[in-house]
Amino acid sequence: MNRIVHIIKATGIAGAEQHLITMLPELDRQSFDIYVIVLTEPKKPVDKLFSALHQAGVTTQRMIINRHVDPSLVVRLMLRLRDLAPSIVHTHLIHADFYGTIAARMAGVPAVISSRHNDDPFRTQSPLSVLLRIVNRYTNRFIAISERVRVFTIEHEKVPGSVVDTVYYGLPVSEQNREVIDVRSEFGLSKGPILVCAARLTEQKGHKWLLRAFRSVVDQLPEVSLLLLGDGPLRKDLEDTVIKLGISKNVMFAGWRTDVMDILPSTDLFVLASEWEGFGLALLEAMSLSLSIVATEVGGIPEVVLDGETGWLVKSKDSDALAGSILAALRSPHKMLECGRKGQLRVQNTFSVEKMIVDTEKIYNLLLAQVLCVNSINSKHDVSSSHEAIKRNTV
């Protein structure tokens, strides 16, 4: 059995973390022994992530990362990887890409895979971009979670296209009846339409553009509500923005929730105003529940949401366009129902967990076969060299 060690740096449960929670338990346990090392900050132990992985039956270990630059982490990772002796190390997100890849090579791990979960602008900035290109040379294959991220990795990180595969996120579809939460009573919302956005409160997610757009929506529909699910470093700034815009009665900050899928069915429209986005797992969650979408046409979002078919797409950082599409959607209830129905079918047909697992295991098996082939060639070379040495010593 081949051991595969996943390494990820986490401060909460976002798209990449949820991806592991979904994927790892479904991998073939007769072929792969899965182990996870989570890099955590001293004051952010991410207990909920460990609990979720434990419940999924995945062996997980915490390793502290003290700061962005933490040379001791390389040594600690290397020693642990030597003990675990994996066939493959699979890294997720920038800190794991750096420290995990270097430590894996120092530990003699045969192969390294890196999943690219986003088209992060900071990856294009020097000196980080230069360091990435160096580390990338020691990575055997890359998995991009969208075609946009694949192109980004090739163009900006100068990775050969032949070693970058696209594997879309998969969303598990539960057949169980959900305990749908009545959001009006839960959060004290008015009787009007309910917009919902489930996203971390960070610059990437574009909440400031959403709030400006929502101000215009409220002018047209005074009873409309906006429910923000998620937390993050910009919460205080965004709360101040809501007050300045005079929409405090219409906006609810619900914080980080574990019951998002129970909340969404009681809402009317899902909105996402991201400035950049590798994929947008929350979009799949909304579509799986037949919600129509208004989102920005950035990154991998157009690969998830089909404009005019499963939702409305607009340019990023354009509050007027965002407001216009939100109003167009709310004023077209039949169109929203149609988009929701098509979105649900799209999730089932294109973004299934089964397809994600099959595609991922193919990459693992391909890489393992390549490693086996290289080892076989090296072994024959060593035997040949030994024979030559024997001849020289007996002459």
Q: What pLDDT digit, counting tens, does each position of 178-223 carry? A: 788 999 999 999 899 999 999 999 999 999 999 999 999 999 999 9
With 70 as the cut, is the pLDDT of residue 175 above it?
no
Residue 373 confidence (pLDDT): 74
The stretches of the chain forming alpha helices (DSSP H) are 15-23, 47-55, 71-84, 94-95, 101-106, 128-136, 147-157, 183-187, 207-220, 235-245, 260-263, 281-288, 301-304, 319-330, 333-350, 353-394
Q: What is the mean pLDDT of residues 65-92?
A: 96
With 90 as the cut, is the pLDDT of residue 12 above it?
no
Q: How far apart are alpha carbons 339 and 58 in whole angstroms? A: 37
Residue 176 confidence (pLDDT): 57
**Domains along the chain?**
2-167 (3.40.50.2000), 183-350 (3.40.50.2000)
Residue 313 CB-half CA count within 13 A: 16
Confidence of residue 15 (pLDDT cuts 50, 70, 90): confident
Q: What is the mean pLDDT of residues 377-386?
A: 52
Residue 380 confidence (pLDDT): 55
Q: Are strands 269-272 and 293-296 parallel, antiparallel or unpaired?
A: parallel
Residue 371 confidence (pLDDT): 80
Sheet of strand 225-229, all strands in order from the earlier edge strand to the far edge: 251-255, 225-229, 194-198, 269-272, 293-296, 311-314
DSSP helix/strand/coil, 1: coil
pLDDT digits (tens, 9 = 90+) for 345-376: 999 999 999 999 999 999 999 999 988 776 65
What pTM did the predictor assign? 0.85
pLDDT digits (tens, 9 = 90+) for 24-40: 999 999 999 999 999 99
Residue 379 confidence (pLDDT): 55
Of 256, 257, 287, the closest CA to residue 270 belongs to 287
* pLDDT cut 90: percent of the chain above it: 84
Q: How far apart are alpha carbons 85 and 255 in whole angstroms? A: 40
Q: Is the dihedral of CA 121, 126, 127, 130 positive or negative?
A: positive
Residue 258 confidence (pLDDT): 85
CB neighbours (10 Å) of residue 123? 17
Of 192, 182, 184, the closest CA to residue 330 belongs to 192
Considering only residues 144 and 376, tell me which one the structure prediction assigns the higher pLDDT. Answer: 144
Q: Tell me the DSSP string of 343-378.
A: HHHHHHHHS-HHHHHHHHHHHHHHHHHHHHHHHHHH
Residue 390 confidence (pLDDT): 32
Confidence of residue 384 (pLDDT cuts 50, 70, 90): very low
**Mean per-residue pLDDT of the chain:** 92
What residue has token string 């890196």?
A: 114
Residue 370 confidence (pLDDT): 87
Return the structure tokens found at 41: 């900050």
Confidence of residue 378 (pLDDT cuts 50, 70, 90): low
Residue 280 CB-half CA count within 13 A: 33
Q: Are 45 and 10 in contact (CB under 8 A)?
A: no
Q: Is the dihedral of CA 94, 98, 101, 103 positive or negative?
A: negative
Return the structure tokens found at 246: 């005079």
